[in-house]
Amino acid sequence: MNLTSNRKKDKIYLRIADAFKDDVGRGILRIDSQIARKNNLGTGDVIEVYNEYKDKRTSGLLYPGLKEDIGSSIIRLDSSFRRNLGAFIDDWVTIGKIESKLAGSITFAAIGRPVIIRDAKALTNLLINRVITKGDIISFYAMGQRFDFMIMEFTPQAKAVRIYNKTEILISEKTIKKLSPEKELNRTNVKKESFLQDLNYFKRKKDNLDKIKKLMKLSTRLRLDMMRDVLNMDPHTFNYNIIDWAYKFEFIIDGDYLIVNKDTVLDFIDALDKQFATSEIKKENLEGEK
């Protein structure tokens, strides 16, 4: 690619590199930290990635670039991102910061065969904090099988929306018969990375749950920012959750601290356990598929 002839002053061109293993399936991207600083891009910004050659775009959350990528002008994207862009490693894309909104509802369309989702809330919980763009394809494993869905529409209107705990997920009656040839080409890598994504997700969830239990055994007064970091939640999602938890379990929000109720703290931990147990069922199906 001839950057001299193609680059415009208002565009940021980056070359695609593979995502780090722990980033796979999390909906996050990393870019050269020098590029980020130069363009005032920070952790948690919603970044739109555009493939000019295919006129395809998608979005993700920006995470800090690592030292090894400084000066490289690369963007690290997993195969799901690349599939949605119709792009491959070493292709060039442009990026830009965009505003996203919290998703009120998202409509998925199954690809290849009709799918019935019996627990849409569990799907919402699995996707919390993910940034979604119309036309994106996302993949899941359940009951030892892989399912692909395309994002058909969402509310409110925006370039991209972010899923949080109150997002309603709907399954369209329309079924998409097949993927385009270029997206079919990436199915093998996506299948492998989707499996790793879920295993990493379950490990993080279990580790976070154990940390919360330890914190609540040590003290009934917890810093909200510490709790948010342990749960790995973005500020929007955490704020919605903490208000619900405080009301349901009679906790007190005192400035930057959460005062837990000793009489209900076990119920709170049990609720988190049940949420994790639901995910564990899926993990067993994944391990059986492996």
Whether 194 maps to a domain, the answer reads no
Q: For residues 93 and 96, give the distance between their C-alpha atoms in angstroms, rounded to a whole number.
A: 10
82: tokens are 């690349």
Backbone angles phi, psi at 277, to 5 degrees: -60, -35
The letter for the amino acid at 111 is: I
Are the CB atoms for 148 and 177 separated by under 8 Å?
Answer: no
In angstroms, what CA-CA distances link 215 with 67, 152, 232?
32, 41, 15
DSSP element (H, E) containing 14 = strand 12-18
pLDDT at 209: 72
Residues 60 and 41 in one domain: yes
Query: Largest Cα–Cα distance in the chain?
Result: 67
Q: What is the pLDDT along the chain (290 residues), one digit of tens a residue?
A: 444 334 455 789 999 999 998 888 889 999 999 999 999 999 999 999 999 988 999 999 999 899 999 999 999 999 889 999 999 999 999 999 999 999 999 999 988 878 777 778 888 888 888 999 999 998 876 656 778 899 999 999 999 999 999 999 998 888 877 655 555 445 445 444 544 444 455 556 667 777 777 777 777 888 888 787 777 666 666 777 788 888 888 899 888 888 988 888 888 877 776 655 544 434 443 333 34
- CATH number at 16 reads 2.40.40.20
Whether 193 maps to a domain, the answer reads no
- CATH number at 152 reads 3.10.330.10
Provide CB contacts within 8 A for 256, sequence distance 6+: 223, 224, 225
CA-nearest of 98, 167, 168, 171 to 138 is: 171
Provide CB contacts within 8 A for 151, sequence distance 6+: 106, 107, 108, 132, 133, 134, 135, 136, 137, 138
Residues 135 and 54 in one domain: no
Whether 274 maps to a domain, the answer reads yes
Residues 224 and 262 in one domain: yes
Residues 209 and 231 in one domain: yes
Of 98, 126, 151, the last residue of a domain is: 98
Residues 94 and 108 in one domain: no
Q: For residues 189 and 191, give the distance between their C-alpha atoms in angstroms, rounded to a whole number.
A: 5
Residues 87 and 19 in one domain: yes
Residues 20 and 85 in one domain: yes
Are the CB atoms for 140 and 115 separated by under 8 Å?
Answer: no
Provide CB contacts within 8 A for 26, sequence distance 6+: 197, 200
Query: Looking at the 3D structure of the chain, how many domains does it have?
Result: 3
Q: Is 154 helix (H, G, I), strand (E, B) or coil?
A: strand
Of 156, 185, 214, the last residue of a domain is: 185
Whether 196 maps to a domain, the answer reads no
Q: For residues 70 and 30, give the distance between their C-alpha atoms in angstroms, rounded to a whole number.
A: 11
- CATH number at 281 reads 1.10.10
Structural domain containing residue 111: 102-185
pLDDT at 55: 92
Edge-to-edge strand list for the sheet holding 168-171: 137-142, 145-155, 105-110, 168-171
pLDDT at 1: 45
pLDDT at 61: 95
Whether 192 maps to a domain, the answer reads no
Whether 191 maps to a domain, the answer reads no
Q: For residues 47 and 131, give the distance between their C-alpha atoms in angstroms, rounded to a whole number.
A: 9
Whether 222 maps to a domain, the answer reads yes
Residues 19 and 34 in one domain: yes
Q: Is 85 helix (H, G, I), strand (E, B) or coil?
A: helix
Of 41, 64, 98, the last residue of a domain is: 98
Residues 130 and 92 in one domain: no
pLDDT at 5: 35
Whether 195 maps to a domain, the answer reads no
CA-nearest of 130, 122, 11 to 80 is: 130
Q: Is 287 helix (H, G, I), strand (E, B) or coil?
A: helix
pLDDT at 47: 97
C-alpha neighbours within 13 Å on the C-beta side of residue 3: 11
